């Protein structure tokens, strides 16, 4: 069975500081992908970053980086230099090689304080 | 280029009525997905199309839910005899449809369905 767990329902961070959002997963697939999405109050899911299970290096996209620890089955999102516009829900998702649907976690609500 | 579009953005209906929700994927994307998101939850998978065929409909909750994609582009999610528990945001996503685990899904803005 595939499962994504996000244990932080809500997080606060001061503007310009870095923040880490936790994500752990469970899968029996050897090849899988991990994704992070941002969902502002407008509701649209915005793709942020992708990490493949066989990628040797942690993924980075601008201010977003993914701290991938395969042995611990964790894929934490790090946002550097937080901005007020980063306030949103963040979802971790997983897709395996042999299935196309995404499994999502329950999300973390990030609030960036000025 | 244009992203995934969904219509209507909001739909209010009465219990027992029939509704249709439409999704227009990104041009060239062969894979299309429907998810349902309840308040405070992550999206839950409903159905996946590769081209015109439903490759995986294991997430449809019961036979009141049905989806089609007759020409391999636009898809319609159909809900019969709506119930109050069907109230949620229905999200559509599309992807290139390539094999492997890195096929990123891009989401539309969703349709908020409210069943009174």
A29-81 pLDDT, tens digit each = 888 999 999 999 988 899 999 999 999 899 999 999 999 999 999 999 999 99
Q: Pick the residue from chain A with its C-alpha nearest to B89.
A: A43
Contact check, Cβ <8 Å, B42/A44: no
pLDDT of residue B1: 55
A112 φ/ψ angles, rounded to the nearest 5 degrees: -100, 120
CA distances from A32 to A58, B38, B52, B75, B101 (A): 15, 26, 25, 27, 5
The distance of B87 to chain A (nearest Cα, Å) reads: 15
Token code pair at residue A108: 């973390």
Residues of chain B falling short of pLDDT 50: none
- Which pLDDT value is given to residue B65? 97
- Using an 8 Å Cβ cutoff, are B89 and A43 in contact? yes
CA distance A17 to chain B (A): 26
Interface contact flag, A33 B41, Cβ < 8 Å: no
Is B25 an 8 Å CB contact of chain A?
Answer: no
DSSP helix/strand/coil, A110:
strand
**A93 has a pLDDT exceeding 80:** yes
pLDDT tier, A100 (very low <50, low <70, confident <90, very high otherwise): confident
Contacts with A104 from chain B: Cβ below 8 Å: 42-44
CB within 8 Å: B104 and A47: yes
pLDDT score at A92: 98
Residue pLDDT, tens place only, A8-19: 999 999 999 999
Q: In whole angstroms, give the CA distance from residue A105 to residue A59.
A: 19
pLDDT for A39: 96
Tell me if the bond preceding B34 is cis, omega within 30° of 0: no
The CA–CA distances, whole Å, from B32 to A95, B47, B91 equal: 15, 8, 11
pLDDT digits (tens, 9 = 90+) for A62-74: 999 999 999 999 9
The answer to whether the Cβ–Cβ distance between A97 and B100 falls below 8 Å is yes
pLDDT value of residue B91:
97
Residues in B closer than 8 angstroms to A32, CB to CB, are: 101
Give me the pLDDT at residue A51, please: 95
Q: Do B109 and A102 touch (CB under 8 A)?
A: no
């Amino acid at each position: 069975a595939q499962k994504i767990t996000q244990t932080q329902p809500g997080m606060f961070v001061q503007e310009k500081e870095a923040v880490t959002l936790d994500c752990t997963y469970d899968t029996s697939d050897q090849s899988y992908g991990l994704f992070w999405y941002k969902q502002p109050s407008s509701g649209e899911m915005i793709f942020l970053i992708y990490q493949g299970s066989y990628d040797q290096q942690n993924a980075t996209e601008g201010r977003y980086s993914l701290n991938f620890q395969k042995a611990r089955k964790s894929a934490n999102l790090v946002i550097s230099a937080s901005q007020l516009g980063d306030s949103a829900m963040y979802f971790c998702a997983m897709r395996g090689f042999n299935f196309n649907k995404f499994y999502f976690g329950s999300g973390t609500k990030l609030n960036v304080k000025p | 280029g244009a992203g995934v579009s969904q219509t209507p953005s909001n739909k209010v209906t009465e219990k027992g009525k029939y509704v249709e929700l439409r999704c227009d994927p990104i041009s060239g994307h062969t894979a299309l997905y429907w998810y349902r998101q309840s308040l405070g939850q992550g999206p839950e998978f409903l159905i996946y199309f590769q081209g015109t065929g439903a490759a995986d409909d294991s997430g449809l909750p019961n036979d009141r839910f049905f989806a089609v994609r007759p020409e391999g582009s636009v898809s319609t999610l159909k809900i019969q005899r709506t119930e109050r528990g069907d109230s949620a945001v229905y999200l559509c996503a599309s992807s290139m449809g390539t094999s492997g685990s890195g096929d990123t899904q891009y989401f539309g803005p969703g349709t908020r369905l409210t069943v009174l």
